[in-house]
Each structure stands twice: as structure tokens, then as C-alpha cells.
Chain A
Amino acid sequence: MSAFVWLTWRQHRWTIIGSAILVMAAAYGLLSAEVRKQTSIDSMPMSGFYGLMVQLSFGGVIGVFWGAPLIARELEERTYFVAWGQDVSPVKWLRGKALVLGVLAVVLGAVAGIGDGHVGDNKAWSAFEGHPAVQAGYALYGLALGVLIGLLSRHVVTAMAATLVMYTLSRTLLTVLLRDHYLPVSRSVARWDSTPVVPVGAVELGNGFIGKDLNPVGVPDVCATLSNPNSCMRSWGGAIGTYVEFQPVERIAAFRYIEFGLYVVLAAVLFALTFRLLRHGGGWKPSRSHRRITSEVEPVPASEPAAAQG
């Protein structure tokens, strides 16, 4: 294992050092922003804002700068003959490197998630991603995604771009579609004469009308066409009140660990796929299209060949 610690450090030290500096600066910015905040209406200093930017993109940074070039650079510069031509097999080589980089990514991710810039010790859904476990999960996922894309694309810049796109896309989709429903939503109901009570800090997910059994009922056609169906529903008689669905802020810790678990599982799946491809030699055949010299030497004919004129 010490062999891979040495090799990883020797080959990736500048990216590791760069990422570490970035993360420390971001963590300092976020923590100092929390400390400097005196009242609830104080605005966030710029350092906190930049810290948040780093926090938002940290998994992607790991994926683009650590994951994508890991195999893609070996394939593109054809040094895989050196890397995989020794007594260590390609699988052992990747396992060693992924382990070292993975541990470092988790540690740096945890540091990136220490502060959140504005709420401090208070719980808030708005600071969901400001948590060590969540950031560690993102970092691991980004690394796994980058490595797999690097193996498939065999080209560093392509792999980096594709990783950026895929990471952003998958994070956005998972956040929008899944995150609010990790646990069943809570529902607050009220009769017509009052409004449903939503606890402070909860995130509202939907509202509507309830029937006599306290379950949501649909809006009948006669009322659906109106701009404000409330009074119509009231006179229709099928509903006895209104409800609001929400996730209470107390659940944020559970949600963060579920998010962490989800991304760790995704990372594990991606790594398993990468190892499978590598073991079967399927992903790294030298491809004609990405060989650096041959693809550029041949000029593209601007018009029909000269034979057509003669």
C-alpha cells in the first residue's frame, strides 16, 4: 500500500495540494462568515459567498481534476504500458490509487463541509450541503464518476468536460427529484376557519384540500377552472379543510446521512463498473480516433479531389 501512497503523491501531488488549499480557504471563509454574523439580518461577507461556491462544486472539482485524468491520462499519453506493465495488475493499480485518492477526497470533503456560512449551529434546509458527511459523499461520487468517464473516453479533456456535465446533471436531478422524499412527508391539516400550521424552518412541499377522512381530495372540475378555488371547494362540500405537506427541519440530520449513503452507494456502483471494464480489458483499447498524431496530420480535403478536375 505504501507503494501506492508514494505513486499517488508523486503523480498527483499538485492537484492534491491545490484542492487542499482551495478547501481550507473555503472552510475558513465559511466559518469566519458565521462568526462575524452578529444579527440575523447581517449580510454574508464575500469570503463566505466564495466559500459557498467552492462547497457547491467541490464534488465536481474532485471528479474533474482527480477522477477524470486518473486513467484517461495514462491512456492518452500511452503510459499505461508503464503503469500496467509491471508486476502490479491494472486492477491492483486502480485499487491502490482509488483507495489513496478516495480517502483524501473524503477527508477534504469533510473539511469543505465544516461551515455553512450563515446559519452556524442553527438547523436550516438552506444549509443542507454544509455538512461534512454530505460533502464527503459528493467527493467520493465525483471521483468515481470521473474515473469511469476517463476510462470510457480515453482522453483527458473530453473526460474532464464530460465529468463536469454528468456530475452537474446527476446532482441536479437527484436533488430535485429525490431529496425531499427521503422520508415520508409530514402533513398539517386545518378546518376551513383556520390555516394549517407549518413548523418554523420546515420546507413546504405541497398543499391542497382534505376530505372527511383527513386524506387529500382532488379538486373537482367546477372549481379547478377558477383562479381561487378555495370558496368554491368550501361550498362544494367534499372537503372539510386544507393541508400543507412539509419536511420538518429536525429531520435534516437524517436526510444528510441518507444523502451521504445514497452517494456512497452510487460511487460504489460506478467503481464496480470501472473495475469490471478494466478487468475485461474492454474500456482501454487504444482507439484510432484519439491517437494524437494520426488524427491531426491528415488534412481535411476542402473540395473534391484533384482527380475530378483532371
Chain B
Amino acid sequence: MSVVAAEVWKWAVHDVSFELPPGSVTALVGANGSGKSTLLNVLAGHLPPESGHTSIAGRVAYVPQHKPMYKNFNVADVLQFGRRMNNVWDNERADEWLARFKVPRKLPIEDLSGGQRTHVTLALALGSRPDVLMLDEPLSELDPLARRKVMRELLTEVSDNGMTLIFSTHVVAEIGGVADRLLLLAGGRLLLDGDTDELLEEHVLYTGPRDSESPVEGPVVLAKHGKTQSQYLVRSGGTQIAEPWTARYVTLEELVVAHLERAA
């Protein structure tokens, strides 16, 4: 396992345990203030946990949510910094990233836009050739086009180099087709931890006439009742069902929202 968290407690994080295999892409999803950043800070070693422990196999690069960088450095200084402060440094990789996203070379970081600064911090993180890359809301300051491009490039880096990627977000639309694992946090607790495809297969939404009982066996995630209709999201793996009930798979977004609604 490349990343392990065992019964971690810290401020907004309560008793979180999980294991992530090497080479996986994990999305850490949760509402604002659900403890995503705290959890990442603990994993990256910037905060000691109150109890529990974390361990990470290999070198970590972490880009926090506020994309910190020395204001008066320019791009060349950042690359120099990365080269001198790391045992392993792939200048080409960092340089390519900056070229790909057309980050101005001459300006100090404080004069760059938020998105450009994101690219600089990402380039620094990627240049150090980490085994585990942790990104806290990496796409928050990027335009819609750049979001896709960044995600695609990151996935290429993952498949080319066997890197493990963890990124947090509260925009569920961003993780469809990207993350192969989902960690769902609410109120500091881990609601869901699993393979995204498996989760999607397990959850089925049944719609039918108003009924106070679920039409199929299995844990009900969320039940909604209209005037004449009832909807049950059941985590059962899809059971055959007779008329008048209909069944369909849900999208990742519906799944996440249902779990969050239940937790709320």
C-alpha cells in the first residue's frame, strides 16, 4: 500500500482509516469544512495527528489549496529552488509543464494569475518526481478548458510513472472518468471508501408508486417520497424488480449527493 491512514484524529478529522494502492487515482470529496484539507495536511506530514498514524511509501509532493509560492521568485527561481532543494529533480518535466500551459517566465509569482500560479506549484511538485502526489483543490482556479487539460496531463503522468495521485475537490463533476477511487468525507468522518466503478454498480435507484418500504432488500442510502412517487437509492448491487417499479444506475454526482444528504 502506498498510502495508509489508520484511525487518524485531528481537529476536523475523526477516526479516518483507509489504504490506497500504488498507482491509484483517488478523489477526496466532501463539503466545505468536511476535513479534506486537514486530512491532506496530516498525510503530507505538515500536521501531526492527535492520534492514529499515517504512512506513505515513497516521496511526497503536496500542493495545498492556497497554492503557496514565494512572491518575489520568478519561474526560473522556482525551477532552481526545486533543483537545489530536492534529491531528485526532473527539470525537463517541470519545464514542459510550464511551457504547455504558457506560464510567463519573466514575471514574479505575485504578478501571475491564480491559474498560472497553480501551474507553477504543480510544476514544482511534478519536477520532484514524487511517488505520491497530493493536490488540494488543484483545479479551483483554472478555467474549464484548463481543468480538463490538467486532469488529462496528470493522468498521463500517473500512467507513465506509476505515481499515486490523491486530489480533493468538492465539485463532483470533476472526478467522473478520472478517479478510480473515491473517499467521501462528511463532518470529518469517512462516509465512503471504495472503487468508483464498484460503487456505481452497487448503487441502484428504484422509482415507483409511493411506498413507505423499499421494494428490494439491502441498505437504503436515501429514500424520497413525492405525492404519488417514491424513490429509493439502495446499495444492493441491482436486484431484478417487477412493474411498476423501475430501476436505473445513478451518476457519481447523484451518488455523492445522496450520501451527503443522508449524512446531513
Q: Which residues of A pack against B, CB within 8 Å?
A: 2-3, 6-7, 10-11, 77-82, 84-88, 281, 285
Contacts and interface: CB of A to CB of B under 8 A. Distances in A.
18 contacts: A3-B84, A6-B80, A77-B68, A78-B64, A79-B69, A79-B70, A80-B68, A81-B64, A82-B69, A82-B70, A82-B121, A84-B46, A85-B44, A86-B82, A86-B128, A87-B59, A88-B85, A285-B47
Contact of A7 (B48, B71, B84): B84
B88 A81 contact: no
A71 to B, nearest CB: 14
Given A82-B69, A87-B88, A10 B77 contact: yes
The interface residues of chain B, by DSSP majority, are classed as loop
Given A3-B85, A79-B70, A285-B47, A85 B80 contact: no
B85 to A, nearest CB: 4
B47 A7 contact: no
B32 interface: no
Contact count band on B: 20 to 34
A87 B84 contact: no
B84 A11 contact: no
A293 to B, nearest CB: 10
Contacts of A3: 84-85
Nearest to B69: A82
Given A82-B70, A87-B128, A88-B85, 12 more contacts: A3-B85, A6-B80, A10-B81, A77-B68, A77-B71, A78-B68, A79-B70, A81-B68, A82-B81, A86-B85, A87-B59, A87-B88
Contacts of A87: 59, 85-88, 128
Interface string B63-82: 01010111101000100111
Contact of B66 (A6, A10, A78): A78
B8 interface: no
Nearest to A82: B68
Contacts of B69: 79, 82
Central interface residue in A11, A80, A81, A87, by most chain B CB within 10 Å: A81
A173 to B, nearest CB: 36
Contact of A86 (B46, B64, B80, B86): B86
B61 A85 contact: yes
Given A10-B77, A78-B68, A281 B48 contact: yes
Nearest to B66: A78
B97 interface: no
A285 B81 CA distance: 24
A193 to B, nearest CB: 75
A7 B85 contact: yes
Contacts of A84: 46
Contacts of A2: 84
B124 interface: yes
A85 B62 contact: yes
A77 B121 CA distance: 15
B86 A6 contact: no
